[in-house]
Amino acid sequence: MKHWLLGALLMSASQAARAEGPAAPIPYKQDAAVAAAALPGGALGVLILSGLAIVVVYVLRKRLNLQAPGKGGARHLRVLETQRLGPRTLLSVVEFAGSRYLIAQSEQGVTCLASAPDAAQPFPAGEGAA
């Protein structure tokens, strides 16, 4: 008897659901703050602020008479020639204050192998040879 009663209750519930029609879909809630942040105005604001920062830096450099390193002023150091001796070893001729220096660079550090007091004189043939 219990089964008969349970069956009747289920049947009446399904008939009531059919009479009401299909269930309405659950509405999707959109957050207004998230939708506003996703607008391209945020990217435009970042671009405007970046442009303003670039202009301010440019104006300050001009006003304070600052220059980028290596531009404008006299250079005191020149690398005349570089030769790679191995995968991690480098040999360079550097000119500084009117003198030339033969510099070796390796994993162990940097070493001055030879120097010529006058930039017009080349290195002696036997000096600095490995």
95-130 pLDDT, tens digit each: 988 889 999 999 999 999 888 876 565 655 555 444
**Are 112 and 81 members of one domain?**
yes
Tens digits of residue pLDDT in 1-34: 566 666 777 777 667 666 566 667 777 776 665 5
Q: Is 12 within a domain?
A: no
Tens digits of residue pLDDT in 41-74: 677 888 899 999 999 999 998 888 776 665 656 6
The predicted pLDDT at position 119 comes to: 56
Q: Is 21 within a domain?
A: no
**Are 59 and 87 members of one domain?**
no
Range of the domain at 94: 77-116
Q: Is 20 within a domain?
A: no
Q: Phi-psi bin for 29: left (phi > 0), alpha (psi -120 to 50), beta?
A: beta
Task: Answer whether 115's CB lies under 8 Å from 99's CB.
Answer: yes
Structural domains in the chain (count): 2
